[in-house]
Amino acid sequence: MSELNLELEVCGGCNEKIGVKDLTSILKDLNPYKREEITVGFDKRDDACVYKINEDISLVESLDFFSTMVKSPYDFGRIAATNAISDIYAMGGEPKFALNIVCFPEGENLEILREILRGASDVCRKAEVSITGGHSIHDSKIKFGQCVTGIVKNREIWKNNGAKVGDYFILTKPLGVSLIMSAYSVGMTSENNYIEAIKKMTTLNKDAAEILKKYEVSSVTDVTGFGLIGHLDECTENSVEIYADKISFLPGSYEAASEFLFTAGGQRNRRALEDEVDFTFDDFALEEVLFDPQTSGGLLFSAKKEEADKILDEMKKRGIPAFFVGRVIPRGNKKFKVI
């Protein structure tokens, strides 16, 4: 089936996330009923919840949705599904089935919705995830996402907060998604850069997760709306030394930041953590990339140096564009030091 000539508004994505400071303030006073089978909840800001079935396996579940952020409805569906499924991979799980979440304006062309659902279906087929239903409502703005359920072996559950001093961080996808979307929406970056960003956002983290299962890792998450620094903040109580010369950018994203094409989400991320970051040299564009919200970003994980070297080597052989981010150091005056 050829793609229809239907275009969406370029905005939204994980750039819309409520800021981490606001979320923390809201959630800290809640006292939800917690079943003893819940072994991972929202208290540690992990990627998904985990429900223990028996001594061997658990269910792992996550929900993610957002408004349109690419022109193509088909690509939007692909990105939203890839992003939602990623949380299951980030917990060490195998995604099994999904429920669609649809917000769609009354009177809007239903062919747009058909293409969104087709894109999500194609990604789920590739991930061997069954779409089993969902829920739809009329809304003034198109939004789409999924609630994804998987299974995970109890001894293989990954959490996002175990990185220790001496561990090295690796990220599996380049940064700069929201900067590219912002620049493209105002004609300040090329079609090729826009297409490359879509390619990365529609790449499942399945292969990267399969490789990680062969090794000892101390923390795993995926980089989305809180940006690289925001997600690093979840991974350790110690400090992190970030290697500026190792960071990989999407083509055009650094240039977009240099032109001050800010995103709202990036500024929320900056306000939340800028006081905890020691930038040892002057590079405002780099700062923006490090705070930039990602949609369907890569897996961010930590491991001892020898293990990290082996993982990076295998990922590169598999065509995964992984790179070193930095290492965990003893807690200093600030949480992050960019060198």
Domains: count for the chain: 2
Q: What pLDDT is attached to residue 2?
A: 41
Residues annotated in a binding site for Mg(2+) = 47, 87, 222
Provide the pLDDT confidence category of residue 13 given band limits of 50, 70 and 90. low
333 inside domain = yes
Q: What pLDDT is attached to residue 213?
A: 97
User: Are residues 181 and 261 located together in one domain of the fold?
Assistant: yes
Q: What is the value of pTM for the model shown?
A: 0.93
User: Are residues 150 and 182 located together in one domain of the fold?
Assistant: no
User: Are residues 235 and 310 located together in one domain of the fold?
Assistant: yes
1 inside domain = no
* CATH code at position 224: 3.90.650.10
Provide the pLDDT confidence category of residue 104 given band limits of 50, 70 and 90. very high
Rounded-to-integer distance, Cα 277 and Cα 168, Å: 18
Q: Is the pLDDT of residue 22 over 80?
A: no
**CB burial string 66-105: b at 16+ within 10 A, e below:** bbbbbbbbbbbbbbbbbbbbbbbbbbbbbbbbbbbbbbbe
User: Are residues 188 and 60 located together in one domain of the fold?
Assistant: no
Mean pLDDT of 196-206: 98
Q: What pLDDT is attached to residue 44?
A: 64
Residues annotated in a binding site for ATP = 17, 44-46, 64, 87, 134-136
Active site annotation includes 147: no
Q: What pLDDT is attached to residue 274?
A: 95
Rounded-to-integer distance, Cα 286 and Cα 257, Å: 8
User: Are residues 131 and 173 located together in one domain of the fold?
Assistant: no
pLDDT in tens, 149-171: 999 999 999 999 999 999 999 99
User: Are residues 91 and 220 located together in one domain of the fold?
Assistant: no
Q: Is the pLDDT of residue 1 over 50?
A: no
- Domain boundary, last residue among 128, 155, 182: 155
User: Are residues 279 and 221 located together in one domain of the fold?
Assistant: yes
Q: What pLDDT is attached to residue 33?
A: 86
Could you list the residue range(s) of the whole structural domain that residue 81 is in?
13-155
160 inside domain = no
Q: What pLDDT is attached to residue 98?
A: 98
161 inside domain = no
Provide the pLDDT confidence category of residue 310 given band limits of 50, 70 and 90. very high
Q: What pLDDT is attached to residue 30?
A: 81
6 inside domain = no
270 inside domain = yes
- Domain boundary, last residue among 97, 124, 155: 155
| Sign of the alpha-carbon torsion through 120, 122, 128, 134 | positive
332 inside domain = yes
Which strands, in side-by-side order, build the sheet including 323-329?
A: 219-222, 299-303, 168-171, 323-329, 239-242, 336-338, 277-279
User: Are residues 151 and 172 located together in one domain of the fold?
Assistant: no
- Domain boundary, last residue among 122, 155, 188: 155
H-helix or E-strand spanning residue 180: helix 177-185
User: Are residues 132 and 175 located together in one domain of the fold?
Assistant: no
User: Are residues 126 and 239 located together in one domain of the fold?
Assistant: no
Identify the active-site residue in 14, 49, 124, 235. 14
4 inside domain = no
User: Are residues 108 and 183 located together in one domain of the fold?
Assistant: no
| Average pLDDT value over all residues in the chain | 93
DSSP E strands in the chain: the ranges are 38-40, 49-52, 57-67, 94-104, 130-138, 143-153, 168-171, 219-222, 239-242, 277-279, 299-303, 323-329, 336-338
User: Are residues 333 and 184 located together in one domain of the fold?
Assistant: yes
* CATH code at position 76: 3.30.1330.10
